[in-house]
């Protein structure tokens, strides 16, 4: 059998390796129009920052390695310009000579990836404007930084790549401005959690421009669509990516609403003997029950393995994704899995949303607060998603929560998880356990919770209510929610008889736990209509402007 693969980065090389492990006799050829293969795209920003000593660490494998190890022939500088499914052939162009030739396949895997989305902004083709999508881009940016020594940088786009490049450029000593069309940076998060990321950027003196776009790029500045001009001797375009699906479309292969190739769980397209994997395809979202476009290196590698297996008679399947991600923004780790509050609402769920602010380990060994925002389905109690921002321990917790979501865990399941504990690594109840406890209490209608936004809206409407700040008086004196009265938790039982019983009572503390304890005290004393403000005062700051 002759297996042809178009593209030699994550999905293509993973497919080839798996196909060879399945069968030693098949002919396997990969056509790649670029000069680098199987590279670690997610590490490129760190190479630019100087965190990676050698570029070879980003692209350690070459054509010889794949020939010697897997007996796979990789043809660099060869672009597949046409797929002819009727006779199972492709037309290939040798980019060095310009000569085109025909090759035939028994099975074909399309792994053409995606390209940087470059908005049609005047000046976008200037020599100081770069995307960051491949190794060539990485080296071009590094060379420009070394030779031209720019002082000011503009990063267009506030997603993963934009935030990683912002950190890298600041580390190199540049003054950086980041521009995002949406009303928030960290666009995979809810608005309130994205504010924590923005706060970290501001701490590092990054200029953040939200709800704005680049209107024109000049030699040393960028004009925004509100008329403002910001300094930029180098401009990084990180406005997203688009699937390289054009030759597939021309061949009659179906694509979805994101222009990615549609595949089933075997990575088969709608045409016989043709598969697709990686960033060129759309992925089935396990929670949305629909196709999404979540281009990730980890997903591409997994899909490539399945495509290579299926193309050589295997039975592996790719079940789908729900978009787990993690990245670093200076001193904070940002992670997300599943649905956020906004996407859960849009998908028709009735979400229960909580803030859980807990240290990653015991405070006497330097534990630092993580902010967890978790979403569960009110009807089933199943966990739908989580977002975490914090300096330490975030990656571990997001992986636990992603695993729980994958296996359909409920909030009560999180409470019962037998997670490892030792003071250098966790608190005696892990933040994941606490997350399950908070959601379970709400689902059981034992301790109803409200957002600070709901409370502020009631204040604006003039509704009769009582807001109690259970923090120590000194913290109340420094700042508090509008209209709140100070009753420290230790005084609540004594002051309870003085509280009105004809109106709802809202309690909050620093992070949510003491507010919950105070809520239970009042409920046990016979009060009704008592609510805990989710996330406490820190939750109030997150949900509103800092």
Establish whether domains 2-115+242-311 and 129-239 are of one fold. Answer: yes
Four-way CATH pick for 2-115+242-311: 1.10.10.10, 3.40.50.300, 3.50.50.60, 3.20.20.370: 3.50.50.60
| Predicted local distance difference test score (pLDDT) of residue 546 | 59
Q: What is the CATH number of domain 331-443?
A: 3.50.50.60
Report, as ranges of residue numbers, the positions in the chain whose pLDDT lies below 70.
545-546
What's the CATH fold of domain 129-239? FAD/NAD(P)-binding domain (3.50.50)
Catalytic-labelled residue, pool 29, 42, 76, 191? 42
- CA-wise closest residue to 108 among 254, 246, 5: 5
* Res 444: pLDDT: 84
What are the residue ranges spanned by the domains of the chain? Answer: 2-115+242-311, 129-239, 331-443, 449-543
- Cα(19)–Cα(13) distance, integer angstroms: 10
CB 39 within 8 A of CB 141: no
Which pLDDT does position 545 carry in this prediction?
A: 67
| pLDDT score for 62 | 95
Q: Give the C-alpha separation, 66 to 16, whole Å.
A: 9
- pLDDT tens-digit map of 327-340: 999 999 999 999 99
Architecture of the domain delimited by 449-543: 3-Layer(aba) Sandwich (3.40)
Distance CA 11, CA 27 (A): 18
CA atoms within 13 A on the CB side of 326: 18
**Annotation marks residue 42 as catalytic:** yes
Q: Across the beta sheet with 369-377, what order do the strands follow?
A: 325-329, 332-338, 383-390, 369-377, 351-359
Q: 539, 531 in Cβ contact below 8 A? A: no
Q: Looking at residue 117, what is its pLDDT?
A: 95
How far is it, in rounded angstroms, from Cα 158 to Cα 239? 8
Q: How far apart are CA 506 and CA 541, in angstroms?
A: 16
pLDDT digits (tens, 9 = 90+) for 252-290: 999 999 999 999 999 999 999 999 999 999 999 999 999
């Amino acid at each position: 059998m002759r297996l042809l693969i178009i593209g030699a980065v994550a999905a293509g090389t993973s497919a080839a390796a798996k196909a060879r492990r399945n069968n030693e006799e098949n002919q396997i050829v990969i056509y790649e129009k670029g000069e680098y293969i199987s590279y670690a795209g997610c590490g490129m920003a760190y190479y630019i920052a100087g965190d990676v000593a050698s570029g070879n660490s980003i692209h350690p494998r070459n054509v010889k390695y794949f020939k010697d190890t897997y007996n796979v022939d990789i043809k660099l500088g060869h672009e597949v310009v046409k797929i002819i499914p009727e006779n199972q052939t492709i037309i290939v162009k040798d980019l060095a000579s310009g000569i085109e030739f025909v090759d035939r396949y028994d099975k074909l895997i399309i792994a053409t990836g995606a390209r940087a989305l470059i908005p049609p902004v005047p000046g976008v083709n200037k020599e100081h404007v770069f995307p960051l999508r491949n190794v060539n881009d990485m080296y071009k940016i590094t060379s420009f930084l070394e030779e031209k020594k720019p002082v000011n940088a503009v990063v267009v786009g506030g997603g993963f790549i934009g935030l990683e490049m912002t950190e890298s450029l600041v580390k190199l000593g540049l003054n950086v401005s980041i521009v995002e069309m949406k009303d928030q940076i960290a666009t995979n998060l809810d608005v309130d959690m994205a504010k924590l990321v923005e706060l970290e950027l501001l701490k590092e003196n990054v200029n953040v421009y939200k709800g704005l776009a680049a209107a024109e790029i000049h030699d040393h500045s960028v004009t925004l669509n509100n008329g403002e001009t910001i300094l930029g001797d180098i401009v990084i375009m990180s406005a997203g990516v688009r699937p390289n699906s054009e030759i597939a479309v021309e061949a009659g292969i179906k694509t979805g609403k994101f222009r990615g190739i549609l595949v089933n769980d075997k990575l088969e397209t709608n045409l016989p003997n043709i598969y697709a994997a990686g960033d060129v395809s759309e992925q089935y979202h396990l929670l949305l029950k629909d196709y999404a476009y979540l281009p990730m290196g980890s997903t591409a590698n997994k899909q490539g393995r399945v495509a290579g297996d299926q193309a050589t008679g295997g039975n592996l399947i790719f079940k789908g994704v729900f978009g787990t991600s993690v990245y670093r923004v200076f001193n904070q780790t940002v992670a997300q899995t599943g649905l956020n509050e906004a996407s859960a609402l849009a998908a028709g769920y009735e979400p229960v949303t909580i803030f859980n602010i807990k240290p990653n380990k015991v405070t006497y060994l330097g534990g630092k607060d993580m902010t967890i925002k978790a979403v569960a389905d009110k009807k089933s109690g199943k966990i739908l998603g989580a977002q975490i921002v914090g300096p330490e321990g975030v990656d571990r917790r997001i992986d636990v929560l992603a695993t729980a979501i994958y296996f359909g865990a409920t909030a009560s399941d999180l409470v019962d998880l037998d997670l490892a504990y030792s003071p250098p690594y966790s608190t005696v109840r892990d933040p994941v356990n606490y997350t399950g406890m908070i959601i379970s209490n709400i689902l059981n209608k034992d301790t109803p919770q409200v957002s600070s936004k709901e409370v502020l809206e009631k204040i604006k409407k003039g509704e009769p209510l009582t807001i109690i700040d259970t923090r120590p008086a000194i913290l109340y004196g420094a700042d508090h929610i509008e209209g709140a009265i100070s009753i420290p938790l230790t005084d609540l039982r004594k002051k309870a008889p003085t509280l009105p019983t004809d109106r709802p009572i809202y309690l909050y503390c620093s992070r949510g736990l003491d507010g919950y304890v105070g809520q239970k005290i009042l409920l046990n004393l016979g009060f009704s209509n008592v609510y805990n403000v989710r996330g406490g005062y820190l939750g109030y700051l997150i949900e509103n402007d800092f």
